[in-house]
Amino acid sequence: MISVQNHLLRLNGNRFFLLAIVSIFLFLGACSPKTRVLKSPDVSGGNVGGTLPKEEQPEIEDREAPVDDIRKIEAAKNSVALILPFQLDKLVPSTLSKEDVNRSAIALDFYQGFQLGLDELAQKGRSFSLHVVDSRDNASHNQSIAQSEAVAHAALIVGPVFPKEIIAFGTHHPNKNVLQVNPLAATKALEFNLPNLVSLTPSINVHTKAMAERVARDYKTGDVVIIYNTADNDGRQFLDGFLSELKTANPTVQVRSVSSIPQLNEQLTLTGTNLVVAGTTDKFQLRAFMSNLESKSVEEFYMFRVYGHPLWDRIDFSIYNHFSDFQPVITTESHLKSWAKGVKEFKDKYYTLYGVQPSDHSYKGYDAARYFGNLLAKYGDNYRDYITKEKFEGLFSTYAFDYNQGWGFVNQAVSFKSYQGASFQLN
């Protein structure tokens, strides 16, 4: 059972239709939903969940009514507040535009995936109460939400989405024992400084650490690790702390740090493999970097392995004829396997319900609902004690949390992709 407050309903149709319904319900509120209620003759509950003999089938009627008291109590305990930036204050339902839908796309996709995940748990006999709130992408508004009745009794808070909102809500919510899930922002958890925060998306320093450990494993005696530093923000952020993490993982690594192509060439070795780590995403820097590696591999018998920024997954490297020869590897937050049975089933169900294909945010919402909903159902008020103990592998996300008293629970799980054919593929 899922009791949904504000009645953000699952609907067949496109995003325009769903957003119009969402705006109506969040602006105006709504009465209790119609519920099909079974009036069992066994009021003691002796046959709850079972199939009655044909002659004893109860009467079915449509009426305004809650489910049985036991499940109502369970749903109240498993209360989830979902705070997302629908930004409904900026639209008029009667004149809904494409811009309105695009502005609310993240919230709609995450909500739809989240609702589907809770629905599946409810079908297994678990009960939840879901309260959906529009954060409006407004920090001041989130201060009010944090102290409102809508989230006062929530056992779990999912959202808001954007960093300023997360901080505004988290610093003003009075109950620090209730966990607040940061569902999408990749900001470093220490920047929020909220001890009850659960950060689902691995920040760049998590990718840095994982890549350093990967390079340390790949390293063989005679190899040299070359860290190619560039001035762009992505490059600096990705390589910040890389050397320290690398030395922690393997103190015997021979490593060189360079900041120009001539310096890089001076450090190349012919006796082993050159493990080159580059964090830049700047197209001009990448062109110079790749052109140099290609020319060096032709003029001398240099062996290269290249390790790059996670955003390389969005860059077209097919323009470089020998890119795959360098066995490029990147980290990724996702392990989505489009060919997997579970993914195909989710896509079919999602399209049937909503009339659109799921986005990454849809998968993330679905995984979050399944993980946290299951923890709530299994452990109740003590669910936070199991977050660092129970790992999770969903359709899109993997969760493996550690805990820090200053900034809460941080997901340390990333996967690796290698370049195969004309794109990066999961290892």
pLDDT attached to residue 51: 29
When pLDDT is cut at 50, 70 and 90, the band that residue 9 belongs to is very low
Whether 150 and 175 share a structural domain:
yes
> What is the count of structural domains for the chain?
3
**Mean pLDDT computed over 152-180:** 96
Say if CB 197 and CB 407 are below 8 A apart.
yes
**Mean pLDDT computed over 372-379:** 96
Whether 132 and 46 share a structural domain:
no
Per-residue 3-state assignment (H helix, E strand, C coil) for the chain: CEEEECCCCCCCCCHHHHHHHHHHHHHHCCCCCCEEEECCCCCCCCCCCCCCCHHHCCCEEEECCCCCHHHHHHHHHCEEEEEECCCHHHCCHHHCCHHHHHHHHHHHHHHHHHHHHHHHHHCCCCCEEEEEEECCCCHHHHHHHHCCHHHHCCCEEECCCCHHHHHHHHHHCCCCCCEEEECCCCCCHHHHCCCCEEECCCCHHHHHHHHHHHHHHHCCCCCEEEEECCCCHHHHHHHCCHHHHHHHHCCCCCEEEECCHHHHHHCCCCCCEEEEEECCCCHHHHHHHHHHHHHHHHHCCCEEEEEECHHHHHCCCCCCCCHHHHCCEEEECCCCCCCCHHHHHHHHHHHHHHCCCCCHHHHHHHHHHHHHHHHHHHHHHHHHHHCCCCCEECCCCEECEEEECCCEEEECCCEEEEEECCEEEEC
Whether 143 and 245 share a structural domain:
no
**Residue 56 pLDDT exceeds 70:** no
**Residue 424 pLDDT exceeds 70:** yes
**Residue 32 pLDDT exceeds 50:** no
Q: Which residue among 332, 365, 396 closes a domain?
A: 332
Asked whether residue 42 is domain-assigned, the answer is yes
- Average pLDDT, rounded, for the chain: 86
Whether 151 and 196 share a structural domain:
yes
Whether 115 and 11 share a structural domain:
yes
The range of the structural domain enclosing residue 269 comes to: 205-332
- When mean pLDDT is compared across 18-32, 126-140, 221-235, 293-307, the lowest value belongs to 18-32
Say if CB 3 and CB 128 are below 8 A apart.
yes
When pLDDT is cut at 50, 70 and 90, the band that residue 43 belongs to is very low
When pLDDT is cut at 50, 70 and 90, the band that residue 101 belongs to is confident
Whether 229 and 371 share a structural domain:
no
Whether 79 and 61 share a structural domain:
no
pLDDT attached to residue 91: 78
Whether 153 and 20 share a structural domain:
yes
Asked whether residue 187 is domain-assigned, the answer is yes
pLDDT attached to residue 182: 98
Whether 260 and 387 share a structural domain:
no
Query: What radius of gyration do the chain's Cα atoms show?
Result: 25
Asked whether residue 423 is domain-assigned, the answer is no
Q: pLDDT tens-digit profile of 75-100?
A: 888 999 999 999 988 877 677 777 87
Asked whether residue 86 is domain-assigned, the answer is yes
Q: pLDDT tens-digit profile of 215-256?
A: 999 999 999 999 999 999 999 999 999 999 999 999 999 999
Place of tokens 């050397």: 243
Whether 294 and 217 share a structural domain:
yes
Asked whether residue 419 is domain-assigned, the answer is no
Rounded to an integer, what distance in angstroms lies between the CA atom of residue 152 and that of residue 182?
18
Q: Own/partner pairs for 416-423, CB < 8 Å, 24+ apart?
A: 416/210, 416/214, 416/329, 416/330, 416/331, 416/332, 417/313, 417/329, 417/330, 417/331, 417/332, 418/327, 418/328, 418/329, 419/317, 419/323, 419/324, 419/327, 419/328, 419/329, 420/324, 421/324, 422/317, 422/318
Whether 96 and 228 share a structural domain:
no
Asked whether residue 225 is domain-assigned, the answer is yes
Asked whether residue 112 is domain-assigned, the answer is yes
Whether 248 and 365 share a structural domain:
no
CATH code, 240? 3.40.50.2300
